[in-house]
Structures are given as structure tokens and as C-alpha cells.
Amino acid sequence: MHKNDIDTLQGQWLQISYERDGVMSPVDGEQGWSPLTTISGINFTVTIANGDTVLIGTFTLNSEHRPK
């Protein structure tokens, strides 16, 4: 894994879809969720529009797999 791969992901990202149990789904905008994912190092936090944190975790990148 190259350091640049992790560096590229740093910051805040507006979530437009998610995958659960292998099924991709769009974010339901009608519920006003507007999930925002913040990545710092290998840590991530997902918050929704009202400020509630709904998910915290860590991730790894597999440089051998495409996409990583």
C-alpha cells in the first residue's frame, strides 16, 4: 500500500450510497440523513444531518485488489 492511497481519502465525504450485505442502495434523501463520512488516518466516522454519529470504525486498503 502506498501512503498516497490513504492520503487521497482524508477529509470529509458526502455519502451518496452504501452497501449492506452485498446490496448497493442509494442514501434516502427524503429522510434528511445526508450522511457525512470523515476520514482521519485509517479511522472513519459517519454522521447524519442532525449531528448524530451513526458509525465509527477503521479501514484497510488492499493494494493488490482493484479497486483497492
SS3 at position 66: coil
Residue 3 pLDDT level (bands cut at 50, 70, 90): low
What's the confidence (pLDDT) of residue 46? 93
pTM for the structure as a whole: 0.74
SS3 at position 47: strand
Residues 25-59 have pLDDT tens digits of 777 655 667 889 999 999 999 998 889 999 999 99
Is the model's pLDDT at 23 over the cut of 90?
A: no
> What is 4-41 written as a DSSP string?
HHHHHH-EEEE--EEEETTEEEE--GGGT---EEEEET
The number of beta carbons lying within 10 Å of the beta carbon of residue 47 is 19
Q: Tell me what the mean pLDDT of segment 17-32 comes to.
A: 73
Are the beta carbons of 13 and 36 closer than 8 angstroms?
yes
Q: Tell me what the mean pLDDT of segment 59-67 comes to.
A: 83
